[in-house]
């Protein structure tokens, strides 16, 4: 569970906070002028067109965007923006300065989550209330990490929209609102494209008012990522591939907390106990009857000496 959603909470939070701070700046100030590190960012090579990610997937960079590969993206996200390491990091999509989306979107992180195969039946039965509770429980630990680095704490987190799973393209959309401090809130919108071994994640950070735009943008972004044969969702091999065990555990936790499933489980437990007692009683009665049948008949003999 930790590997699956830890980075969803923290990833790009610093991007958002710095973007808010520089919302009134023009040109390349949003991404390229980061104080003393501007010489480093000026050395970055941004890619356009079709880009091959480290996992073999092909990304068609949309018009108005530029792409930083995994090495340079890690430098920007982890070293300059202060985010924690993400082992599955594949790159970063940034709007071009002056583009139509430059003021609407801070960035989209692309990463691979190798948490295991998630079946459609499990995806349909995920308990998102339990999922949110798990992420909220991590806030205290994450806030300690942020406070040591002088970053705003996440004081609240909740769903911006009810999570949605689309069976047609095997994607899961998770939209969260993160409250940073008292006066700043950002939208964290994640599109999880289910794969054979987990999910390819596109996580966008944007101002709070861009929810409707991201609802249309993120599926379009996902359509621009093409997984190679062998990594697709339909390539799953049940004999060799690992299942996402955490989802089954989360689903069962949700069922336990659900009143209907609780009483159904309680009823099933009492039925099991009653049937077990009846079986024990039946075995005891059969043994008693069997012993009675095997008892020898008493023969009465007359002692002749008594005559």
**Residue 123 sits in the same domain as residue 6:** yes
Residue 51, domain CATH: 3.40.1000.10
**Residue 162 sits in the same domain as residue 91:** yes
Contact 13, 83 (CB under 8 A): yes
Please tell me the total count of domains within the chain.
2
**Residue 6 sits in the same domain as residue 115:** yes
**Residue 6 sits in the same domain as residue 49:** yes
**pLDDT of the chain, 307 residues: tens digit per residue:** 444 454 554 454 444 444 444 444 444 444 444 455 667 777 889 999 999 999 999 999 999 999 999 999 998 888 877 777 888 999 999 999 888 777 788 899 999 999 999 999 899 989 999 989 888 888 777 788 778 877 777 888 999 999 999 999 999 999 999 988 778 899 999 999 999 999 999 999 999 999 999 999 999 999 999 999 999 999 999 999 998 865 544 444 444 344 444 445 445 555 666 767 777 787 878 777 767 666 555 544 555 555 5
- Complete DSSP assignment for 43-77: T---B-SEEE-TTS-EEEPPTTEEEE-HHHHHIII
Tally Cβ neighbours within 10 Å of residue 143: 15
**Residue 144 sits in the same domain as residue 288:** no
**Residue 138 sits in the same domain as residue 285:** no
**Which string of b and e fits 281-295 if b means at least 16 CB within 10 Å?**
eeeeeeeeeeeeeee
Residue 182 lies in a domain: yes
Residue 301 lies in a domain: no
**Residue 237 sits in the same domain as residue 262:** no
**Residue 216 sits in the same domain as residue 268:** no
Domain limits for position 280? 258-295
Q: How far apart are the C-alpha atoms of 29 and 270, rounded to whole Å?
A: 67
Query: How many Cα atoms sit within 13 Å of 157 on the Cβ side?
Result: 25
**Residue 272 sits in the same domain as residue 143:** no
**Residue 159 sits in the same domain as residue 270:** no
The DSSP bridge partners found for residue 154 are 180
Q: Among residues 199, 181, 179, 182, which one has the least CA distance to residue 191?
A: 199
pLDDT at 305: 56
Residue 160 lies in a domain: yes
**Residue 121 sits in the same domain as residue 74:** yes
In terms of phi and psi (left: phi > 0; alpha: psi -120 to 50; beta: otherwise), the region of 255 is alpha
**Residue 138 sits in the same domain as residue 264:** no
């Amino acid at each position: 569970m930790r590997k699956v959603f830890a980075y969803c909470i923290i990833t790009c939070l610093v991007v958002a906070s710095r973007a808010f701070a520089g919302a009134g700046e023009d040109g390349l100030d949003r991404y390229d002028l980061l104080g003393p590190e501007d010489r480093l960012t000026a050395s970055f090579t941004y890619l356009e067109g079709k880009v091959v990610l480290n996992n073999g997937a092909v990304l068609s960079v949309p018009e108005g965007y530029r792409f930083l590969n995994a090495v340079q993206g890690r430098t920007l996200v982890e070293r300059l923006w202060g985010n924690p390491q993400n082992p599955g990091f594949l790159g970063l999509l940034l709007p071009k300065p002056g583009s139509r989306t430059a003021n609407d979107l801070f960035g989209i992180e692309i990463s691979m989550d190798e948490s295991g195969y998630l079946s459609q039946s499990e995806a349909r039965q995920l308990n998102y209330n339990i999922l949110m509770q798990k992420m909220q429980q991590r806030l205290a630990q994450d806030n300690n990490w942020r406070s040591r680095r002088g970053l705003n704490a996440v004081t609240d987190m909740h769903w911006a929209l009810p999570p949605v799973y689309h069976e047609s393209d095997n994607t899961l959309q998770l939209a969260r609102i993160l409250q940073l401090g008292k006066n700043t809130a950002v939208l964290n919108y994640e599109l999880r494209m289910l794969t054979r071994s987990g999910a390819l994640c596109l996580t966008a950070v944007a101002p709070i008012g861009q929810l409707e735009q991201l609802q249309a943008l993120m599926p379009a972004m996902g359509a621009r990522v093409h997984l190679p044969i062998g990594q697709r969702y339909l390539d799953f091999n049940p004999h060799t591939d690992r299942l996402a065990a955490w989802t089954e555990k989360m689903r069962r936790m949700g069922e336990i907390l659900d009143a209907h499933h609780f009483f159904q489980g309680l009823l099933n437990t009492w039925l099991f106990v009653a049937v077990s007692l009846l079986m024990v009683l039946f075995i005891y009665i059969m043994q008693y009857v069997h012993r009675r049948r095997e008892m020898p008949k008493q023969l009465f003999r007359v002692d002749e000496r008594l005559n």
